[in-house]
Amino acid sequence: MFDYIIIGAGTAGCVLAARLSEDPQVTVALLDAGPAATPPWADCPAAMPLLTRRGGGTSVVQPGLNGRSAYLPQAPMLGGASSIHAMLYSRGDPSGYDRWAVDNPGWGYADMRPYFARVESALQVQNLPQPSASSAAFVAAAGQADWPHAPHFSSTSPQGIGLAQVMQHAGMRTSAASAYLAQHLQRPNLQRFTGVQAMRVLLRGRRATGVEFGQDGLVKQLDAARAVLLCAGALQSPQLLLLSGIGPHAVLLGQGVATRHDLPGVGQQLQDQVAVAQIYHAPRAPGLLGWLRLAQGALQWRKTRTGPLTSNWWEAGGCVASQPDATEPDLHLGFAIGKLLDHGRPTLWGRGFTLQARVLRPASRGSVQLASKDPFAAPLVDPNLLGQREDLECLQRGLRLLRHIAQQPALAALGARESRRSALAQADLPLETFIRDHAQASGHWTGSCRMGPGPLDVVDAQLRVHGVQGLRVVDASVLPCSMGDGTQAAVLALAEKAADLLRVDNTGG
């Protein structure tokens, strides 16, 4: 028996395992779906597109995408999303945290600042070490288009365009796994189980007592004395609750799962920050993709951990308000140093860059549901991308803002020319068609186990599942609204705070 069982060794799970096991009197089991080893090139920042294109799934058909399914980037490796994403670090907009705290005291921006400080110290967040000249040109062009400059993205003024701050150290990716967990895996009170498929949370009445999981073709069980902690992410955590009989009764009945606790909000209210990109050909831009440059860069990175392969690709960007009367940003405008579509699928060669618009506060809501009661079957994920027209209109404004930036002298000097596939979409209707044909999921999923006191909320402000003792959810699924940018900083700080909550309530709740 362990005091705590953590299901999911992703961003939040690594933080929790490291923090909880600091107490030698506390025993922790960490269940990890991925293999024991990570790819040898996973620490190389420029390998990001190779990581995001492996192990992902697809959504159900999206009417808002003209009947396409969306690619869902996922991370079957230690560290989860923090081990595959573009390493961008941004706390987000303070107003997002303050909205969160309206119904959930203790989660406002002022409450979270100490936890951000812990995260930034642990991950050694820094400015991009060797940004490309084309990224500097994008920032200059944004200034020429009258957007303010953002020197960093951890301030209380969230608007502006600048060079990225990244989760890197000494030319290598820093993830929740490398920063928090790797050096502590030998602790005698911490045991990691790899290649694990969680099947259901074990319940005795309305109390979680452990977990049943598959490993090496066998079904096994572990018991938890204090709490079971779901850290499987916004797609898998609701799936596991549903498989355990915790969720909407009608949904469970339809899949033949016995209802243990009728909780209508499980798997509902899923959000993702839908995005769309434009490709630009730029013959005078320094290129990253090219056999000779890649070979030279790989040799330099291997020897000195410097050079072009320290790039995270998405080297610049920022949050902006797309309408004059807006009081807070609603778009993220991003710049990638190569031609990068849909998480690196496909690879596009040649000199150029990518401009991307991403909706920060999506109005569309989707769901995560069971495909069947088979725990080895992937869930049915419906992010309902562009389900609400205001998200589409936000992207239309975003692409026009990006075109205006691309026309400024700093980028025009690179010979920038918009790809024909998007350049023909100028009027509203062709631009709408282009967006619906090319928009993508960003992977910033939230809301599927939403925090709050309402009838469709799943956890309370202590992260405890409503109506079930000894069971908490600690990952992006509990975020009830967008924090104004990506989810990484928010989830890392959430996990730091969760560890403190568990230390205070050592019964597990």
Contact 368, 445 (CB under 8 A): no
Residue 256 confidence (pLDDT) above 70: yes
Contact 150, 139 (CB under 8 A): no
| pLDDT tens profile 239-248 | 999 999 999 9
pLDDT of residue 438: 96
Find tokens 């000097």 and name the residue: 413
437 compared with 348, residue with greater pLDDT: 437
Average pLDDT value for the chain: 93
Phi, psi (rounded to 5 degrees) for 71:
-75, 135
Residue 428 confidence (pLDDT) above 80: yes
- Among the ranges given (136-150, 236-250, 320-334), the one the predictor scored with the smallest mean pLDDT: 320-334
pLDDT of residue 13: 97
- Would you call 161 helix, strand, or coil by DSSP? strand
Residues 417 and 353: their CA atoms lie apart, in Å, by 10
- Would you call 64 helix, strand, or coil by DSSP? helix
Find tokens 């597990």 and name the residue: 508
- Counting residues of the chain whose pLDDT is more than 90, the rounded percentage is 81
Considering only CA atoms, give the Rg of the chain.
22
pLDDT level of residue 54 (50, 70, 90 thresholds): confident
Alpha helix (H) ranges present in 154-290? Answer: 176, 233-243, 249-254
Find tokens 């395992």 and name the residue: 17
Contact 333, 401 (CB under 8 A): yes
pLDDT of residue 286: 82
pLDDT level of residue 296 (50, 70, 90 thresholds): confident
Residues 362 and 272: their CA atoms lie apart, in Å, by 7
Tokens (6 digits) for 180: 């928090």
Tokens (6 digits) for 366: 């989707």
Contact 80, 9 (CB under 8 A): yes
Residues 446 and 409: their CA atoms lie apart, in Å, by 38
Beta-bridged to residue 472, according to DSSP, are 229, 464
Contact 266, 248 (CB under 8 A): yes
CATH, range 129-163+275-361+387-438: 3.30.410.40
pLDDT of residue 289: 61
Residue 259 confidence (pLDDT) above 70: yes
- Torsion, Cα of 254, 258, 262, 268 (10° steps): -50
| pLDDT tens profile 169-188 | 999 999 999 999 999 999 99
Phi, psi (rounded to 5 degrees) for 313:
70, -60
- Would you call 504 helix, strand, or coil by DSSP? helix
pLDDT of residue 508: 62
Residue 129 confidence (pLDDT) above 80: yes
pLDDT of residue 342: 86
CB atoms within 10 A of CB 388: 16
In the chain, what are the domain boundaries?
A: 1-55+76-127+172-270+368-377+446-509, 129-163+275-361+387-438
Residues 419 and 143: their CA atoms lie apart, in Å, by 23
Angle at 35 between CA 245 and CA 70, to 5 degrees: 65
| pLDDT tens profile 355-372 | 999 999 999 999 999 999
The per-residue DSSP string of 222-234 comes to EEEEEEEEE-SHH
Contact 152, 90 (CB under 8 A): no
Is 444 part of the annotated catalytic residue set?
yes
Query: What's the average model confidence in pLDDT over 309-334?
Result: 92
Catalytic residue among 85, 261, 444, 466: 444
CATH, range 1-55+76-127+172-270+368-377+446-509: 3.50.50.60
Tokens (6 digits) for 286: 């320094």
Q: Which has the closest alpha carbon to 153: 93, 113, 85, 84? A: 93
Contact 278, 402 (CB under 8 A): yes
CA atoms 23, 25, 26, 31: torsion sign: positive
Give the per-residue SS3 of 357-402: EEECCCCCCEEEECCCCCCCCCCEEECCCCCCHHHHHHHHHHHHHH
